[in-house]
Amino acid sequence: MKKITAFLLLCFGIQTAFAQLTPFELHKDKNYTATYAEVISYYQKLVKGKDQVKLINYGMTDIGKPLTLIVLSRDKVFNPEQIKKQHKTVVLINNGIHPGEPEGIDASMMLVRDMLKKNSLPKNLVICMVAVYNIDGCMNRGLSRITQNGPEAYGFRGNYRNLDLNRDFIKADSRNALAFMQILNTWQPQVFVDNHTSDGADYQYVMTLIETQKDKQNPILAKYTSNTLSPELYKRMKKSGYEMTPYVESMRGGSLDSGIVGYLETPRYSTGYTVQHNIISYVTETHMLKPFAPRVYATYDFMQNLFDICERDAALIRNLQHDADEQVKQQKTFALNWRLDPTTFDTITFKGFAAAHKPSEVSGLPRLYYDRSKPYTHTIRYYNNYVVSATADKPVAYVIPQAWSKVIELFKLNKVAMKQLSHDTTLNLQMYYIGDMRTPTRPYEGHYLHSNVQLKPTDMPIKFYAGDYVVYTNQAINRYIVETLEPQGVDSFFAWNFFDSMLTEKEHFSDYVFEDIAADLLKKDPELKKKMDEQSAKDPNFIKSANAQLEFIYQNSPYHEKEGNRYPVGRLMTDVKLDLR
């Protein structure tokens, strides 16, 4: 009897251990990433009967399946408010935003299991992991990254709407982005990681790293990440056997010997969006030409090393975020765009492979290749200094007509504090008229992204209605507010076409009728006559064009419609008392 029990126990033990191996581990050559169904069923089995882990579904994605978040809490507390009160630091991991880059999906499955099995959940952290972000793309499985070295099949970059979800964090066209915002603003992490795979040049590293660009990051956080957290991650990863280098993008597309450039992840990217929330953020980029298994293990080690440092520095990280939040509440001027300073650089040690050219078998023309038999270690330039190229001074408050409901929806999701006007009223505000700008002729991610936007600020009375929104700029989330609402922001709502209906005039005039009105205006308004004469003297074509002259008079007349090209969000410049609810 005893023997039978022992045998059964052994079988059960083996079966449990076997069931806990991930699909990646179960494949002999480890060149396999789990399917979406395998990921979810793995976690469902893994969490059964365990009280330190929970699976929580958020929102909906474009394919009609919710985002699954794995939450690990040593104290078995899963209420975000209570976690905040306990002064725990929250780390959020995102996986599979580009499903063809799935290392994070498989590494996270192993890491969650191992932390539970070893009873090694950190005391001071709560860890949240998105199982698969781009579920839609993950289910569209095939071989879409033809120059990548495995796994044997994987998901597609675009989601169900063919959007690149890692450009969607401001415009939020996908329901995936809305669900992610719900997760981020519910759990309010201090640290965030987005796991990826990179392409480009060949070199010796399995993993490269994008840190939040330091000149874009809040200076209080940048000091800690640049001096402590990032150097320590590099050191620990080297010790783990996966030495890292900063993400490799060559200077002006030249050879790596001409230097590499720090990556500027503007707010459309996950880490450009999280930085607006004062969250310390990293993007891991394993290298596509290395076999899949070491890429997965490097991602596993990165997360483990990060958890270890965050566990040690948990209180410090929380305090730094608090200080950054306080600083940003008081901040007056905000950067809206940045450009690389090509005149200053640091130097780094870089382990590459010799690049050379040989005749192409396809075209007969010279083609680039990297010679892995010729590894080198060079000192190269690292250009990672960005300067601010556009700024805005914040107003006391922004006034947003309720008609712009998508802005209101996004602000609510991002926990922006808003008040509403209690009755119809006219406010004296600074309004922007939109002047020149650049707009491409082909769409990018479903939009015609505006850039180089010129503004003419004008003080004027504007009618608002009961229920319109007032957003004061004394908030920890100020960066998100200002960077999205100022039209010159590189990823502002204006840039992403939220307000394009304001860019056309609606009524105009019938020229033959306006002739008489225009003549009358000229007679009665000597100022206007003077302006006309000046224009005629300046521009020889002007005097030859009847239309141009009528248009000039119209534009300078009281009949010219004030709404056309006027940005509808107003800036309250003095702290007058408003009737709010």
The residue with tokens 């000046």 is 534
101/211 with CB nearer Zn ion:
101
The residue with tokens 């719900």 is 182
The residue with tokens 């206007």 is 528
Residue 387's contacts (CB-CB under 8 Å, 6 or more residues apart) are: 215, 338, 339, 341
The least CB distance from residue 170 to Zn ion, in Å, is 18
The residue with tokens 């082909």 is 442
The least CB distance from residue 110 to Zn ion, in Å, is 21
165/407 with CB nearer Zn ion:
165
| Coil, helix or strand at residue 524 | helix
The least CB distance from residue 249 to Zn ion, in Å, is 13
144/565 with CB nearer Zn ion:
144
Closest CA to 177 of 276, 270, 242, 264: 270
The least CB distance from residue 40 to Zn ion, in Å, is 22
The least CB distance from residue 93 to Zn ion, in Å, is 15
164/173 with CB nearer Zn ion:
164
Count Cβ atoms within 10 A of the Cβ of residue 9 and give its class: 0-12 exposed, 13-18 middle, 19 or more buried. Answer: exposed
244/335 with CB nearer Zn ion:
244
Dihedral sign computed on CA atoms, order 490, 227, 303, 179:
negative
- Count of CA atoms in the C-beta half-sphere (13 A) of 122: 23
CA distance 543 to 204: 68
What angle (nearest 5°) sits at the alpha carbon of residue 334, between those of residues 329 and 335? 145
List, in sequence order, every residue forming a beta bridge with 195; answer none if it has no partner: 284
Count Cβ atoms within 10 A of the Cβ of residue 284 and give its class: 0-12 exposed, 13-18 middle, 19 or more buried. Answer: buried
Binding residues for Zn ion (CB under 5 A)? 98, 101, 196
39/434 with CB nearer Zn ion:
39
The least CB distance from residue 576 to Zn ion, in Å, is 47
134/478 with CB nearer Zn ion:
134
What distances in angstroms separate CA 7 from CA 1, 10, 16, 19, 21, one per listed residue? 10, 5, 14, 18, 21
98/268 with CB nearer Zn ion:
98
Q: Which two tokens stand for residue 347?
A: 């130097």
CB count within 10 Å of CB 54 equals 15
The least CB distance from residue 196 to Zn ion, in Å, is 4
The residue with tokens 């796994």 is 151
CA distance 158 to 152: 19
The least CB distance from residue 350 to Zn ion, in Å, is 22
Are 305 and 191 a contacting pair, CB within 8 Å?
no
The least CB distance from residue 90 to Zn ion, in Å, is 24
Closest CA to 301 of 142, 103, 571: 103
| Coil, helix or strand at residue 49 | coil
Are 386 and 335 a contacting pair, CB within 8 Å?
no
197/414 with CB nearer Zn ion:
197
Closest CA to 393 of 480, 333, 321: 333
247/411 with CB nearer Zn ion:
247
In the chain, the largest separation of any two C-alpha atoms, in whole Å, equals 115
CB count within 10 Å of CB 195 equals 30
The least CB distance from residue 141 to Zn ion, in Å, is 17
The least CB distance from residue 268 to Zn ion, in Å, is 13
- In the chain, what are the helix, strand and coil shares in percent, each to the nearest 5? 35, 25, 40
98/295 with CB nearer Zn ion:
98
The least CB distance from residue 371 to Zn ion, in Å, is 27
190/281 with CB nearer Zn ion:
281
The least CB distance from residue 150 to Zn ion, in Å, is 16
154/499 with CB nearer Zn ion:
154
| Coil, helix or strand at residue 502 | helix
Per-residue buried b or exposed e for 56-94, using 16+ beta carbons within 10 Å of the residue's own CB: eebbebbbebebbbbbbbbeebbebeebeeeebbbbbbb
